Structure 1
Amino acid sequence: MTGTEDRLRDAFSGAAETIRPGSLAPLSPPPPRARSMKWAVPVAVAGALTLVLIGTSMLVGGMSQAPRTGSSALSGAPERIVAIRGGHAMVEDAAGHPIVRIDGDRYEAVAATRDRRTFFLAASAASDTYSFYRVTLGPDGSPTRPQRVPATIRLDSGLGKPERFAASPDGSKLAVVGNNPGQVEAVVIDVRTGASRVWRASGDNPISSATWSPDNRTLGFIWSFRDDQPSLYLLDTGAARLAPRVLRSATTPGDGLINVFAFNPDGRTLTAQVQGAKRGPDDDAEYQLVQLSARTGQPTPWTARLPSDSFFVKPDASGNHFLQIIDGRLGRVDNGVFTWTTTATDYTDAAW
């Protein structure tokens, strides 16, 4: 069984036994018609076909650059990251060298805000129960003492899988996606008050890849409605009635699969990690980061080749640098080229 298949099996296996009190009433998933139209392309737009053909070439790796090892140019990249290693939160430099440990333990995930100085840490309080803390880095990288967010949630989110936790760019909201018995949930938490809004739908299929748009109200995630193929969804968290819409299928034209995606800081594009179609029993598929239109879901020519599969992508404020964690090892993509950052293999999450 491949590493990707192991992750998918793990995602299906967990379920919480208790539903968090105080949630909103269940809401309905998108109607079937919305799903049936996810591949519709306006035939009157002549350039659309060209874009799809170019994007397909990108997704099968015809023009991507091979990954390399060694130090990469750090020009324009953030100088510091916050990493989760062995349940502890660490401030590290851009090359993965520890600077200082942040107070507390049992941390499982970290998310950064737009200023790249404010970070939120998710900590395991009990089985499938999580609390949250805010930390701010000073000009010299020294962290403040973690400040508790007045909210605790109980949800099988698998926060050890960091693609299920995200902070809005302005730091006003947190999002956690996951499953409870017989249903999926996307929980939006007000950092100041601890109040939450919840979108939920029936089903046991896993939900993952929480990501915020720069508008601070659009939440993205990946989910499979009933037995359909997984799709990329966008949810307007400021709407009176929460109802996500399908952006596109998570299956690419070349039979690849989008494992995780993130909004880029420009708000116009997304960066997605794509697993190419398997070509043999050893899972020797090609893995890439690709960029998609945030409006249409169609691919752009930008692509970067990865050494293996990763359910992880964290852009910096410029959108030119991306953190990657592959089998516990920290790497990065700078201007389209992958480089390993460290040889350590104990990373759970990281953000800059």
Structure 2
Amino acid sequence: MTRTEDRLRDAFGAAARSMPNGSLDPLTVPSRRRRRPWTVPAAVAAGLAAVVIGGTAVGGAIPRAVHSGPAAGAAGPRHVLAIRDGRAVVENATAQGLTKAASLGGRYEAVVATGDGRTFFLAGKASGASYAFYRLTLAADGTPSAPERVPGGTVRLDSGFGKPENLAASPDGSRLAVVGTAGGRPEAVVIDVRTGGRRTWSTSGGSVTSATWAPDNRTLGFVHTPGGPSGRAVLRLLDTGRPGTDLLSSRVLRPAEVTGTRVNGLINVFVLNPDGRTATAQLQGAKHGPDDDASFVLATLSTADGRPTGRVVRLPGDSFFVKSDGSGAHFLQLVDGRPGRVDGDAFAWLSRAADYDDLAW
């Protein structure tokens, strides 16, 4: 199952939990690439249909006339920290791809980096749906320190928590943000990694994904999909310095759909860029063909008005993943377990292997 299908399954599940038992008939959603189908309630599917087919509803497929060639030299971070089959490994990043440098003990599900490119956080299951967090640093040659447990205990969320797009570290490394669903309610949890203190924001119904920090280390971005028949996904920005616990006290940046002459589609995941003026989003175009294939691009959006600005880079497939380095000039992609990178207006594969669960630089 692709990450897009994972996100939709979580959204359907969250909405379904908010509806009376026994009132819904099942609907089978077609799987892609001959994967096993999964089922969702018909009434919930109708309510969220606009989100599922957003690329079609906003007026056509994403344009294919974009660059997709070798990455520009070996510029950018020298190392990545990756999760491969549950194991954390340090790999050298070069123009030729990735080469293994070191391995860490333990099992993990997600990794995120801070703005300095040397401090990383790992998420590992403590028990059931509870997760613990660990911090480590990389030396200049890529040698990792031993992971140290972040204080404050564990965090429990019902679904989607361990997925990479739902975990983010602030650029200065002082806070972690995790988003998901707890007891049928969308939640965002922010943890002070020095003290273990935490704050939680929640709302009723729907789902929340794609955690990302602004360069001010205070504003948290995410994608929120409301529950109910009119639920349509939007990008939101939450001021975590203000009092309150209402997740919807955040402001709407833009709908999670883009229309225009250059690009059209549904925003699956996004990151706020270090310049403070733009965001980089992965967009899914209209579905087509018997396997519901779609086009995917990485595009730059203005945070002032949410409009597309700057580059549009064609991607080889559905990644539901984008990780930026500290400069905001280099982006990681993960397409069905295979890592790639975007530099400038070009995409390039980093490895032939397809056993990556997550990676960051």
TM-score of the aligned structures, taking structure 2 as reference length: 0.80
What's the counterpart of residue 259 of structure 2? 253
CA distance in 1, matches of 2:60, 2:290: 24
Alignment-derived partner of residue 340 in structure 1: 349
Question: How far is 1:3 from its partner?
Answer: 6.9
Q: Select 2:339's aligned residue among 315, 325, 330.
A: 330
Q: Deviations over 1:131-182 (max 9, x none)?
A: 0000001121111111110121111252442000000000000000000123
| Corresponding residue number in structure 1 for 2:9 | 9
Cα distance change, pair 190–292 in 1 and its aligned pair in 2 (3 A): same
Decide whether the 8 Å contact of 1:14 with 1:156 is kept in 2.
no
d(CA) in 2 for partners of 1:7, 1:104? 27
Alignment of 1:102-141 (within 5 A): 102-105=104-107, 107-141=108-142
Does the CA contact (< 8 Å) of 1:167 and 1:212 recur in 2? yes
The one-letter code sitting in structure 2 at the alignment partner of 1:190 is: D
* Match of residue 211 from structure 1: 212
Secondary structure of residue in 1 paired with 2:339 = strand
- Deviating beyond 4 angstroms after TM superposition, the runs of 4 or more aligned structure 1 residues are 56-59
- The 1-side partners of 2:61 and 2:306 are apart by 13
Check if 1:178 corresponds to 2:184. Answer: no
Structure 1 residues 136 and 314, CA gap change in structure 2 (3 angstroms): same
Following superposition, the deviation at residue 59 of structure 1 comes to 8.1
Instruction: Assess if the C-alpha contact under 8 Å between 1:109 and 1:159 holds in 2.
Output: no
Number of residue pairs matched? 308
Give the superposition deviation at 1:245.
Answer: 1.1
Aligned partner of 1:241 in structure 2 is 244
Indicate whether 1:307 and 2:309 are aligned: no
1:76 is matched with 75
Deviation at 1:246, TM superposition (A): 0.8
State whether residues 313 and 324 of structure 1, in contact with CA within 8 Å, keep that contact through their aligned partners in structure 2. yes
For 1:290 and 1:212, locate their aligned partners in 2 and report how far apart those are by CA, in whole Å: 18
Q: Give the superposition deviation at 1:206.
A: 2.2
2:100 to 78, 90, 98: 98
Q: In the alignment, is the contact (CA less than 8 A) between 1:291 and 1:300 conserved in 2?
A: yes
CA-CA distance at 1:11 after TM superposition: 5.1
Measured after TM superposition, the shift of residue 336 of structure 1 is: 1.6
1:232 to 235, 247, 250: 235
Letter in 2 for 1:168: S
* Residues 14, 185 of structure 2: 8 Å contact kept: no
Take 2:123 and 2:272, find their aligned partners in 1: how far apart are those partners? 21
Structure 1 gap ranges (5+): 18-55
Shift of 1:62: 5.8
2:82–2:111 CA contact under 8 A, matched in 1: yes
**Cα distance in 2, alignment partners of residues 300 and 136 from structure 1:** 34
SS at match of 1:163: helix
TM-aligned CA distance change 1:14 to 1:109, over 3 Å: farther
* Corresponding position of 2:23: none
Report matched runs for 1:186-197 at 5 Å. Answer: 186-197=188-199
Identity of aligned residues (%): 56
Q: Does 1:149 align with 2:153?
A: no
Q: Is the 8 A contact 2:341 2:348 kept in 1?
A: yes
Q: 2: CA distance between counterparts of 1:12 and 1:74?
A: 42
Instruction: With the length of structure 1 as denominator, give the TM-score of the two structures.
Output: 0.82
Moved more, 157-166 or 189-198: 157-166
Gapped runs of 5+ residues in structure 2?
18-57
1:195 CA displacement: 0.9
Shift of 1:63: 4.5
After the TM superposition, which of the residue ranges 339-348 and 241-250 deviates more from structure 2?
241-250
The separation in 1 between residues aligned to 2:240 and 2:6, in whole angstroms, is 32
Candidates 161, 186, 189, aligned match of 2:163 = 161
Matched-pair contact (CA < 8 Å) for 1:59–1:252: no
